[in-house]
Structure 1
Amino acid sequence: MSSEKATALVLRVVDFSESSSVVTLFTREFGKISGLAKGAKRPKGAFDSALDLLCTCRVVFLRKSSEALDLLTEAKLIRRFRLCDKNLSRLYAGYYVAELLLELTDEYDAHPELFDNAERTLLRLGSGPSVGTAIAQFEMAALQILGHHPSLEQCADCGSEIRPHGRIPFAQTAGGVLCPRCRPRHSQVVQVSTAVIEVLKQLANADNEALDTVKIERRSGGELRGVLNHYMTQLLGRPPRMQRYLVAPTSNHDDAGKDAANEP
């Protein structure tokens, strides 16, 4: 077993015994890992409350060569994300970030850019003006980094250029927009406005600092949220658990000001 050090985001914590936990982390250096943290629930020790959900910490762990759990030996808190200070929508959005990282990534498949984007997204959720827009940007970034990005400018079937006008066929199963010739060959097709397609393009190319320049009309926010919901559901084979609590993206509005109508 080799000792490794990494910067990690806590995605999940499950009780293992009276004093120990099994922790799933998304690390910048190694990708997703799962490890046994012995004594993690003791008030004082090598973990010192650093393994709470959505915390960023510096961890030391022993990497197992087999399918057994890694062994976490130390964790030092870097940052605790306080997402519930204002309302539940921000907290649910943070849980959604963790859920996507759990579901979309593989063990020991490092994506430093995705780690950095997730960390910036959580920071924005704590203080930024638009929760829905921050989450939509994270989704598009994750899809692009992990190779699942929907085709928005060329037909997902034949590759021909799509000229934006009116409403454009978008097929979840095909992975993006369709030209009129390919449209009849596909099922589960929705007609998406050109405004939403343009916003998706902007989100795919925007970092968190540029989100304030992305303009989303209020009537387009719900449609955009619906497109992303269906795309993620198709990709994962089921709806993400936290998806139903997400708010629609808007421009220059604190869309988290309206708590999710349905709380878990």
Structure 2
Amino acid sequence: MSELLKTEAVVLNKINFGDTSKIVHFFTEEYGKLSAILKGARSPKSKIGVALDSFNIVQIVFYKKETRDIQIISQVDLIKHFHKINEDLEKMKYSSAVIELLHNLTAEYEPHKKLYKGTVRILEMINEAKYTPKFLFVKYFIFFIKEIGYEIPYENCTNCGKKLVNEKRISFNLEKGFLCETCRSVSESFFDFTKELFNFFVCLNSKINNVSYEHDDLNKIIFFLEKYLMYHVHEFKGLRSIKLY
């Protein structure tokens, strides 16, 4: 027996199915990630095909059946279309990376309202362009890692407990975490932070957005976060979106 449900959702991606239908992957506010088929979406008479573009915020009504992997959509209403993202290659690159994380690293039917609201907010901010897309994505990446259960503690050395804020050089061990300058010798270092780069990482973990940085600093943090996530989540092989654009 099917249950008729309604929820807000971010469109992750879509693929053609059959002659006139589409299978769409969503990250929803109420039910987490789900896949659903919209029959007739490719028909010339369909008025909702454009609503299913990636990054769009929509409201969907669908028939959920527990024994079915792909649900059936009965209605789609467009809430928000981020046209500036689609007109700018840099914005599209990092918005696609946001979508890639959600699509590959969240579970089907596992609700996460905070992650959903954070995703909508970051897409809004990338679209508004008050800050650079790369900077916003790195902040989201840190937030995403925390929300899926792999938060990176950064205040104290994991070996001796010393506060790290005044250390000149800080190392990171993939198994143990951040290590102070004294404890660097006890474990193999995967990544070395200068004091400036570490302080920047601390700022990225906060709500502060007005911070000066070099774009190479963002590249280093993205590299660090990718490798950290690859170590802890073996099915994650890195961000393809960033390399494709």
TM-score (norm 1): 0.81
- Of residues 216-225 and 32-41 in structure 1, the stretch that sits farther from structure 2 once superposed is 216-225
Q: Does 1:54 align with 2:55?
A: yes
- Could you say which residue in structure 1 is the equivalent of 2:212? 215
1:195–1:220 Cα contact (<8 Å) kept? no
Q: Does 1:144 align with 2:143?
A: no
Amino acid in the other structure paired with 2:67: S
- Cα offsets for 1:189-216 (capped at 9, x unmatched): 111122222222222222xxx42x2332
| 1:61 aligned counterpart, secondary structure | strand
- Cα offsets for 1:227-264 (capped at 9, x unmatched): 2232233344311211336xxxxxxxxxxxxxxxxx4x
Amino acid in the other structure paired with 1:220: D
- Of residues 111-120 and 130-139 in structure 1, the stretch that sits farther from structure 2 once superposed is 111-120
Amino acid in the other structure paired with 2:135: T
One of 129, 132, 136 as aligned partner of 1:130: 132
1:7–1:56 Cα contact (<8 Å) kept? yes
Q: Could you tell me how far 1:187 is from its partner in structure 2? A: 4.5
Q: Could you tell me how far 1:19 is from its partner in structure 2? A: 0.7
- Could you say which residue in structure 2 is the equivalent of 1:14? 15
Distance in 1 separating the partners of 2:113 and 2:37: 23
- Of residues 74-83 and 165-174 in structure 1, the stretch that sits farther from structure 2 once superposed is 165-174
2:30–2:113 Cα contact (<8 Å) kept? yes
| 1:49 aligned counterpart, secondary structure | helix
Amino acid in the other structure paired with 1:228: L
Amino acid in the other structure paired with 1:141: F
2:21–2:40 Cα contact (<8 Å) kept? yes
- Cα offsets for 1:58-106 (capped at 9, x unmatched): 0001111114311111101111122132x31111111111001112211
| 2:205 aligned counterpart, secondary structure | helix
Q: Could you tell me how far 1:184 is from its partner in structure 2? A: 5.3
- When residues 75 and 110 of structure 1 are mapped into structure 2, their CA distance, relative to the original with a 3 A threshold, is same
Distance in 2 separating the partners of 1:236 and 1:39: 37
1:46–1:73 Cα contact (<8 Å) kept? no
Amino acid in the other structure paired with 1:232: L
Q: Could you tell me how far 1:154 is from its partner in structure 2? A: 2.8
Higher relative CO (CA 8 A, sep ≥ 6), structure 1 or 2?
1
| 1:93 aligned counterpart, secondary structure | helix
- When residues 55 and 185 of structure 1 are mapped into structure 2, their CA distance, relative to the original with a 3 A threshold, is same
1:43–1:49 Cα contact (<8 Å) kept? no
Amino acid in the other structure paired with 2:221: L
- When residues 132 and 12 of structure 1 are mapped into structure 2, their CA distance, relative to the original with a 3 A threshold, is same
Q: Could you tell me how far 1:188 is from its partner in structure 2? A: 5.9
- Could you say which residue in structure 1 is the equivalent of 2:100? 99
| 2:7 aligned counterpart, secondary structure | strand
Amino acid in the other structure paired with 1:233: M
Identical residues among aligned pairs (%): 24
One of 227, 236, 240 as aligned partner of 1:230: 227
Gaps of 5+ in 1: 246-262
- Could you say which residue in structure 1 is the equivalent of 2:242? 243
- When residues 3 and 122 of structure 1 are mapped into structure 2, their CA distance, relative to the original with a 3 A threshold, is same
1:173–1:188 Cα contact (<8 Å) kept? no
Number of residue pairs aligned between Structure 1 and Structure 2: 239
- Could you say which residue in structure 2 is the equivalent of 1:258? none
Gaps of 5+ in 2: none
Amino acid in the other structure paired with 2:230: T
2:160–2:183 Cα contact (<8 Å) kept? no
- Of residues 130-139 and 232-241 in structure 1, the stretch that sits farther from structure 2 once superposed is 232-241
Distance in 2 separating the partners of 1:184 and 1:143: 27
TM-score (norm 2): 0.86
Q: Could you tell me how far 1:218 is from its partner in structure 2? A: 4.8
- Of residues 20-29 and 65-74 in structure 1, the stretch that sits farther from structure 2 once superposed is 65-74
